[in-house]
């Protein structure tokens, strides 16, 4: 499909006269258009869930989340990857953002980089892509060569290839194992896909990566339990998480955290089951680090 025919490039009838609107009218119009994003994503929930399940299986075998895109799409991928590290305490090499043109393209356009499928393959080869990895190709138009090249190479290596676009039946989707395509319609400013399309892509990436982190045991109830207690503030937070999830006292939580080598999930399992640190560590490993799965199995075995 020609670029001019893409829905992301069409003119929005509602904003034809936005340049003559009052400022409150401009704000209201943009907000009204943004309200179309969540319903568009809702139509893709089954595909997002499938991507979470497939990516989680690979991630729990030691694979990585690798994002690939150009321009705004690439920046959103880099952002999602970068934020997983402090939020969930994962090593930075487990979530990698690739943007066409390299990190300098985060701040300044690198002309021509997005048009190179070969550059994406080169970048993924540099990472030693393997079959346990998940590559998420991001492109609002669904046709960016860098993103297409990334998914093409991912499929050659048998990595999971996921596309995130804002057009239906895109070229990028044709190279994906799982295609996610919230169609949010023409932008308020024609072709400015940093707006609705960019917001939709960020929401999808948030859902996908958060789901993978939940399945990797980084969340218990709705708490981030893999916090790395590297300073006094974070130690206090870790202790409070243990108190809140187990009902022990603050001093008991401090003792458990110390015994667990400052690993909050291990401390929670110890508090809930009475296991020692070795047993708690072993049973967590057997359940992919998921505390709720450990407790469900323990309660079933002990008749709780």
Active site residues: 83, 114
Q: Which residues, including other chains, have CB under 8 Å from residue 259's CB and lie 6 or more apart?
A: 267, 270, 277
Contact in structure between 74 and 97 (CB atoms under 8 Å): yes
Degrees, nearest 5: CA angle 293-297-303:
140
Alpha-helical regions (H) of the chain: 23-34, 37-42, 45-59, 71-88, 117-126, 145-157, 171-174, 196-215, 232-246, 250-259, 264-273, 277-286, 291-302
CA 55 to CA 216: how far, in whole Å?
10
From CA 177, how far away is CA 14, in angstroms rounded? 36
C-alpha closest to that of 47 among 183, 149, 229: 183
- The SS3 call for residue 90 is coil
């Amino acid at each position: 499909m020609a670029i001019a025919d893409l829905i992301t490039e069409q003119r929005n009838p509602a904003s034809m006269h936005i340049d003559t609107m009052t400022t409150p009218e401009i704000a209201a119009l943009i907000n009204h258009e943004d309200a179309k994003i969540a319903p568009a994503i809702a139509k893709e929930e089954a595909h997002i869930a499938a991507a979470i399940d497939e990516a989680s299986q690979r991630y729990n075998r030691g694979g990585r989340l690798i994002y690939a895109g150009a321009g705004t799409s690439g920046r959103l991928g880099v952002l999602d990857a970068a934020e997983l590290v402090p939020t969930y305490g994962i090593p930075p090499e487990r979530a990698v953002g690739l943007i066409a043109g390299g990190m300098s393209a985060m701040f300044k356009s690198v002309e021509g980089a997005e048009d190179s499928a070969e550059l994406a393959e080169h970048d993924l080869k540099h990472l030693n892509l393997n079959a346990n990895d998940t590559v998420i190709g991001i492109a609002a138009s669904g046709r960016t060569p860098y993103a297409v090249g990334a998914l093409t190479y991912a499929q050659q290596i048998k990595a999971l290839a996921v596309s995130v676009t804002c057009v239906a039946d895109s070229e990028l989707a044709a190279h994906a194992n799982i295609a996610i395509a919230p169609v949010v319609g023409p932008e308020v400013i024609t072709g400015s896909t940093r707006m609705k399309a960019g917001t939709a892509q960020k929401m999808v990436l948030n859902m996908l990566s958060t789901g993978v982190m939940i399945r990797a045991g980084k969340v218990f109830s709705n708490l981030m339990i893999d916090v790395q207690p590297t300073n006094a503030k974070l130690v206090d937070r870790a202790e409070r998480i243990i108190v809140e999830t187990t009902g022990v006292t603050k001093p008991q939580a401090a003792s458990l955290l110390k015994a667990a080598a400052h690993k909050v999930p291990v401390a929670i399992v110890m508090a809930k089951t009475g296991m020692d640190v070795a047993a708690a560590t072993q049973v967590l490993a057997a359940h992919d680090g998921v505390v709720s799965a450990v407790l469900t199995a323990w309660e079933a075995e002990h008749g709780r």
